[in-house]
Amino acid sequence: MKLSDFRYTAPKSVTAKFPSDPRDESQLLIIDRAAGEIEDKVFTDISDYLQKGDCLVVNESRVFPARLIGKKEKTNAQIEVMLLRELSQKDALWDVIVDPARKVRIGNKIYFDDGKLYCEVIDNTTSRGRTVRFNHTGDLFKTI
């Protein structure tokens, strides 16, 4: 099995850019394992499914634009850069996965959009993993 077997591009139309307004109108998927049924609800209905002693886990994760498509300096080869985690906002360092990895080496620069934003590969971390430094400091998401 390959990691690429799990690659899926969700249509932009189904990816939330902002939270629901009002927040309690966000989608809620109810799975009844005993009956084998799945229901689409809204979060305001959650109290209908909770019982005394239940544990509710709150997921405070956020969606961010993690997939960047750029072009490698000199060759213009298309490179996909998947942002994994920010290592240092001050130094603009990120752990990323690149594809195709065989074309991306230490010292390579990858340019995005109009070339104002780019990253330079400073380390190989795994076969596809890299540490990169962006030319932008501060909140990267305000730039991309």
Residue 31 lies in a domain: yes
CA distance 97 to 5: 15
Q: Would you say residue 9 has pLDDT above 90? A: no
Q: Which helix (H) or strand (E) holds 109?
A: strand 109-112
Residue 101 lies in a domain: yes
Task: For residue 121, give the CATH number of its domain.
Answer: 2.40.10.240
Split at pLDDT 50, 70, 90, the class of 12 is: confident
Which structural domain range is residue 136 located in? Answer: 67-142
Q: How many Cα atoms sit within 13 Å of 83 on the Cβ side?
A: 20
**136 and 74 in one domain?**
yes
**92 and 38 in one domain?**
no
> Domain total for the chain?
2
What is the residue type of 14? Answer: V
**109 and 43 in one domain?**
no
Split at pLDDT 50, 70, 90, the class of 137 is: low
**79 and 125 in one domain?**
yes
pTM of the model: 0.60
Name the residue with higher pLDDT: 87 or 141: 87
